[in-house]
Amino acid sequence: MSESLWYEQAKRGVYVMGLCPGITDTHFQVTAGGKKEDLPQGLSQTPEHVVDVAMKALQLRHKPTIFTGVKNVVFASLSRVLSRRSIVKMTGGMMPS
């Protein structure tokens, strides 16, 4: 949706950005009933990193969709080459039982 809005509003000088931060080390995990140690540390990023990337992207105003981090770009790209079933099995296997 943000990409469509970005395209439609560009003529009016309105910039729309969809931010895709991926796994971020916040209190969400615990609030949702999980444990902090359940966060996959190799994929997790700090809120400060997410804000830095978002602010730089807002200044540049080049793209409608921003992924924070190379690993998030890779995971997003997997949906283009793997089936949904494969992705569900792979990501589901990352979470502790």
Task: State residue 88's pLDDT score.
Answer: 81
pLDDT of residue 78: 80
Q: Are 77 and 20 in contact (CB under 8 A)?
A: no
pLDDT at 97: 55
For residue 36, the tally of other CB atoms under 10 A from its CB is: 10
Tokens read off for 82: 């793997």
Break the chain into its structural domains and give their ranges: 2-92
The pTM assigned to this predicted structure is 0.71
Q: pLDDT tens per residue, the chain (97 residues)?
A: 889 999 999 999 999 999 999 888 888 878 888 777 777 777 788 999 999 999 999 999 989 999 998 888 887 788 788 888 887 887 776 655 5
At residue 64, the pLDDT reads: 93
Helices (H) and strands (E) in the chain, counts: 5, 2
pLDDT (0 to 100) of residue 95: 58
Relative to beta strand 65-67, strand 18-20 is: parallel
pLDDT at position 74, please?
82
pLDDT of residue 90: 74
